[in-house]
Structure 1
Amino acid sequence: MTLGAEDRLAIHELIALHGHLVDEGELDRLDDLFTADVVYDASDLGHGSMHGLEAVRDAARAMGERGTVGHHVTNVILTEVGEDQVRARSKAIGIKADGTSGSVRYEDVIVRGEKGWRINRRKVAARRTPSGANDANKRPE
């Protein structure tokens, strides 16, 4: 399968949709974003792994006032892995109501089904160290 421009655009818009739905509290529309059997792994953020749409909705509702008010996704990279399946890596900046922010990486498995492209698995990994601290190719001083 060669992923065409139309599919690439649809997947980019799908990834962007997450912030719009969650930030606006449209949790009843998460099926526009995720498969019914989604696995959403937020363990790295201390929220565990959620299985299924209702678990993702419940977790978002439980965050209440502690939730993120702005999800901003960038740097989307797509890799085809099979017929009707793509892996996506993207970066996101989250803004809290108190003005604090954080950076994460999303690792998604996206599948095409009867309703179009949907995220079937999402792993969220927090960025906690600057890139210079991770440089495996540093030159000795």
Structure 2
Amino acid sequence: MARVKHLVILDSFKLLQIKFPYIHWPLGWNKICTLLERCTHDIQVTAIQWQKPPDSWVKINTDGSALNNPGRIEAGGILRNQNGELILAFSVPLGQGTNNQAEIEAANFGLAWCMQLNYRNVILEVDSQLLADWFNSRAAVPWTILTQL
């Protein structure tokens, strides 16, 4: 564990030197390295299981991906009926954008297909808490993507 921590500190040190060359060596770096050594990361594992939608409903699960943020973005999703049977699956390149744009476009693309296939009782599941908060008006939507929702 100590070796792993040491390698993380060295990599972080190199990154910080490149990103912040104006911090004078060695005084500033020693303090930063000491702070980094004290950092901890709590890992929480949550088991999640897909559940079928109620009778006469469909469920669409979507996800967006950005290789960099911003960078090349893509969207994907899967639509299933109340028996869990596949109705539609999609994967589509979206060009350039952010991870949040990819999440929004994935949901929009999936919901548009639901409408086109004449499904009106639709449950949308996403893995983006921010997107869920935007849809449920629990967070302010940035003006730059407001028209996408």
The bucket for the TM-score relative to the shorter chain is: under 0.3
TM-score, structure 2 normalization: 0.23
By relative contact order (CA 8 Å, sep 6+), the higher-ranking structure is 1
Q: Higher strand fraction: Structure 1 or Structure 2?
A: 1
Q: Higher helix fraction: Structure 1 or Structure 2?
A: 2
TM-score, structure 1 normalization: 0.24
